[in-house]
Amino acid sequence: MLVEKEKLVDSIEKAIKEAKPRKFVETVEMAVNLRNVDMKKPENRLDAVVTLPHGLGKPRKIAVFAKGDTALKAKESGALVIPPEDIDELAKNKRKAKKIAKEYDFFVAEAPLMPEIGKKLGPILGPRGKMPLPIPPASDPTPHIERLKNSIKIRTRDKLTFHAPIGNREMETEKIADNALEVLKVVEDKYEGQQNIKSLYVKTTMGPAIRVI
């Protein structure tokens, strides 16, 4: 691993210490700058869901396109259920669709609904990196929902820099560091080594950026 956990812990502690107190619980974020990667080639772009070992301090918000037992179990797991008949309505009411796309972090859908979702809601969900995770029809979405509650999406698009939330300032710094290491592991696996990470910073939402490497 390119970064030692101890160095990450020290940097996160410094970032939290140097950030002014706020009236809300700030997120702790990491910024990764890459090098020697041609982002003009789509296959070189990073687009991954990372399950954090300690979550973000509060669960992510999940929405599920489903009906029947799948919808029932999704609701029991705390997800927003969007029945198939609402897809048309959301396609017509773009303001509402955009609001849901902004409010919810991840989407799950029964696989047979994916073509309709792609056609009618793809222009809204796609650019935001929120196209649903397809699951078999009539299956139990609970394991997927529980995993996504502790997950984040990292995307570079065509840029050499990406930002990712890794916790909040009320969490133990050791746990935040573990989350950061999980993200870095995905980056290193993608680019088959460590030489593609140019620099790494950590910061709170509104605090100063602290360089780790």
What is the pLDDT confidence band of residue 1, given thresholds at 50, 70 and 90? low
Please spell the DSSP secondary structure of 11-28, one letter per residue.
HHHHHHHHSPP-SS-PEE
Please report the pLDDT score of residue 190 as a whole number. Answer: 92
pLDDT in tens, 150-188: 999 999 999 999 999 999 999 999 999 999 999 999 999
Q: Please name each of the domains of the chain with its CATH number.
A: 5-57+152-211 (3.30.190.20), 62-148 (3.40.50.790)
Average pLDDT over residues 60-89: 97
Alpha carbon dihedral 186, 192, 193, 197, in 10-degree steps, equals: -60
Provide the pLDDT for residue 193.
64
- The helix/strand/coil state of 154 is strand
Residue type, 66: A
pTM, two decimals, is 0.91
Residues 88-133: pLDDT tens digits?
Answer: 999 999 999 999 999 999 999 999 999 999 999 999 999 999 999 9
b (16+ CB within 10 A) / e for 15-31: bbeebeeeeeebbbbbb
Strands 210-211 and 197-204: antiparallel
